Copies of this chain bind each other. A is one copy, B any other.
Amino acid sequence: MTLKELANLLGLSPTTVSRALNGYPEVNAETRARVAAAALAHNYRPNTQAKRLATGRAMAIGHVIPISIRHEIVNPVFADFIAGCGEIYAQQGYDMVLTIVPDADEARAYREVRSKGNVDGMIVHGPRLNDPRIAQLTEMGLPFVVHGRAMGVETPYSWVDVNNTRAFTRATEFLADLGHRRIALINGIEEMDFAARRRRGFERAMAERGLEVDPALMVAGEMTEAQGYDAARAMLARPAPPTAFLTSSLLSAMGVRRAVEAAGLRPGREVSIVTHDDELGFLKNGAEDPVFTATRSSVREAGRRCARMLLEMIAQGERAPRHELLEAVLVVGQSSGPCPVRP
> In the complex, are the beta carbons of B95 and A100 less than 8 A apart?
no
- A52 beta carbon closer than 8 Å to chain B: yes
> In the complex, are the beta carbons of A98 and B101 less than 8 A apart?
no
Chain B, Cβ-Cβ closest to A1: B115
> What are 8 inter-chain pairs, A to B, with CB distance below 8 A?
A49-B53, A76-B76, A82-B98, A82-B100, A90-B109, A96-B99, A225-B254, A225-B290
Contact A225 to B100, CB < 8 A, known contacts A43-B115, A46-B116: no
CA distance A226 to B291 in the complex (A): 7
Copies in the complex: 2
CA distance A101 to B116 in the complex (A): 27
> In the complex, are the beta carbons of B224 and A118 less than 8 A apart?
no
- A277 beta carbon closer than 8 Å to chain B: no
Kindly list chain B residues whose C-beta atoms are within 8 Å of the C-beta of A80.
73-74
CA distance A291 to B226 in the complex (A): 7
> In the complex, are the beta carbons of B112 and A45 less than 8 A apart?
yes
A65 to chain B, nearest CB (A): 7
- A178 beta carbon closer than 8 Å to chain B: no
- A47 beta carbon closer than 8 Å to chain B: yes
Kindly list chain B residues whose C-beta atoms are within 8 Å of the C-beta of A60.
97
Q: Interface centre among A44, A100, A261, by most B CB within 10 Å?
A: A100
CA distance A111 to B45 in the complex (A): 10
Binary interface encoding of chain A residues 106-118 relative to chain B, with 1 for a CB under 8 A from any of its CBs, else 0: 0001011001111
A302 to chain B, nearest CB (A): 15
> In the complex, are the beta carbons of A86 and B100 less than 8 A apart?
yes
Contact A49 to B47, CB < 8 A, known contacts A73-B83, A99-B95: no
Kindly list chain B residues whose C-beta atoms are within 8 Å of the C-beta of A192.
none
Name the contact of A47 in the complex, choosing from B1, B50, B116 (C-beta under 8 A): B116
A5 to chain B, nearest CB (A): 13
Kindly list chain B residues whose C-beta atoms are within 8 Å of the C-beta of A65.
83, 86
- A79 beta carbon closer than 8 Å to chain B: yes
CA distance A101 to B91 in the complex (A): 10
* Chain A residues proximal to chain B, CB less than 8 Å: 1, 43-50, 52-53, 58, 60, 65, 67, 70, 73-76, 78-80, 82-83, 85-87, 89-90, 95-101, 109, 111-112, 115-118, 224-227, 251, 254, 261, 289-293, 296
> In the complex, are the beta carbons of A74 and B43 less than 8 A apart?
no
CA distance A78 to B78 in the complex (A): 11
CA distance A90 to B106 in the complex (A): 12
> In the complex, are the beta carbons of B74 and A74 less than 8 A apart?
no
Kindly list chain B residues whose C-beta atoms are within 8 Å of the C-beta of A290.
224-227
CA distance A85 to B73 in the complex (A): 13
Kindly list chain B residues whose C-beta atoms are within 8 Å of the C-beta of A293.
224, 226
CA distance A82 to B76 in the complex (A): 13
> In the complex, are the beta carbons of B83 and A100 less than 8 A apart?
yes
> In the complex, are the beta carbons of B86 and A99 less than 8 A apart?
yes
